[in-house]
Each structure stands twice: as C-alpha cells, then as structure tokens.
Amino acid sequence: MFVPIRHFCMKLRGWPSHESLSQLACHVRNSSGLPVRFVKDSCENYEKRIYLEGEVHTREASWHDLFNALVWMSFPKAKSFLNRLHVREMKKEEDGRRGKMRDIATLFDESGVIVASSNPSLSNMLKRFEWKSLFLDNRKKVMEEMRFYIFGHGLYEKALSPYVGLTGHAVLFHVEEAFFALPIDMQIERLDSSFEQIFSKIATPRDLCPLPLLGVPGWADGNEDPAYYDNESYFRRGRIRNGGQTGSVPRPK
C-alpha cells in the first residue's frame, strides 16, 4: 500500500522536523512556481497560503500531516493542481458556501486512489462492483495489467492499522501494457504528469469509484480465498460509475 511514497519514507531518520521535510521536498513547486515548504505555524486560509506562499501548515508528530507531506513529494503536480482548484473555486463561492468541486478535490485528497489499467474489461469490472470477478477470477490479469496507487494521505494514515471497511475513491487511468515494465518512480511521474488532464474531467463525486482496498491482491492476508469476497457489507454491490472514462496516460515522447 505504501509503494508510492516508499522512496521518500526511506529517507526519513526518525520523526522529521519541518526543516528536514522541506529539504526533502526541494523539488516541489506550487502553481506559482514557489518552493513548497512545511511550516508549523497555523493559519486560517490553508489552501490560499499554499497557493500564495508555498507554505503547507503541518502539525508536529501528526501521521496525517506527515503523509500529506510525503504525497506532496511523490505527486507534486497533482497536489499543486488540487490546491489551485481549491483557490479557483473559492472565488466562485457565495455566502461562504463550499462548492461541489472543492468537495470532490477534498475527497480525493484524503481518500483517493489512482488505478492504472491496460485492460478495459478489468476497469469495467471495477466500475460495476464485480469484486469477486475482478480480484479472484481475474486475479492473475489484475496483477499483470492493473496497479493501485494510494494518493489520499488520510488513507495512508488508516493503512497503518488496516481494517475491513477500508475504502478508497478511485480514478481510473488507461495505460499501455509497457507502462508496468517501467520503474516505479517513472510510473508515478507519468501518472502525476497526467493527473490534471484526467481529473479535470471529474464532475461529480459519483465519478470516483468506491474501492475496497483489502480486496486488492496482496493487500490483505487471505484475500485469495473465494469466501473472503462474500462479505457484501464490505464488497458492496452498486451502480456503474464513470470514473474509468476519464482519459489515457500518454506514451512518453
């Protein structure tokens, strides 16, 4: 589950200071091109401060905020885009009422999962909530033709103590088969670079597909057992979602 942020996790030595986190994120820029820094002093305008100053309020000794920082390092373009989306939508809000697009951005920022698939039939199974067909009957294909990348920092915090019920909200990216042969850092870089183009087509929370994370092959002990997927309170049935019809990750030039 922690593969997308593993590179930066391995660089941590004990609980990091704000200064060491900022140094580790030296490659990260906000939408204005300013370096992103992690600061301890709080502010009321969290998103605006990131956008205008490049400063991310980060609580000390907080797993939630630490994972937020690590996602900034791993998916800098995607995080910058979501921040810019928040600020853009704030300008449209009236009477302090939060708009729908900000709710979508927050939902994905907290519990989002990027699913890359080279097989449309697997993507359709996910959208149709066909969990046993996807994770059991097509297990080998899923392991070869599909990958799951946790994005939401709230999910990372929950994954420290995973439990039945742990669910993400997925956006599906179509990739070519050769994508999965790339090193993991190159996979993440390409997904990060394509994120804005694909996420910009999301129009409603229903475009994010619910994903029971403990069904993913290898993410929970015993999930190769057919009976594992009979728990319909977790592997729920539902109506088809549109999350997979968002676009393709382009081939590198």
Decide if pLDDT at 245 tops 50.
no
What's the confidence (pLDDT) of residue 248? 64
State the burial class of residue 68 (Cβ atoms within 10 Å of its Cβ: 0-12, 13-18, 19+).
Answer: buried
What does pTM read for this prediction? 0.93
Cβ(169)–Cβ(107) below 8 Å: yes
Decide if pLDDT at 244 tops 70.
no
Average pLDDT, the chain: 93
- How far is residue 185's CA from residue 229's CA, in Å, rounded to a whole number? 32
- Chain centroid to Cα 131, Å, comes to 20
The number of C-alpha atoms within 13 Å of 16 and in the hemisphere containing its C-beta is 23
DSSP 3-state of 16: coil
**pLDDT tens-place string over residues 153-210:** 999 999 999 999 999 999 999 999 999 999 999 999 999 999 999 999 998 888 999 9
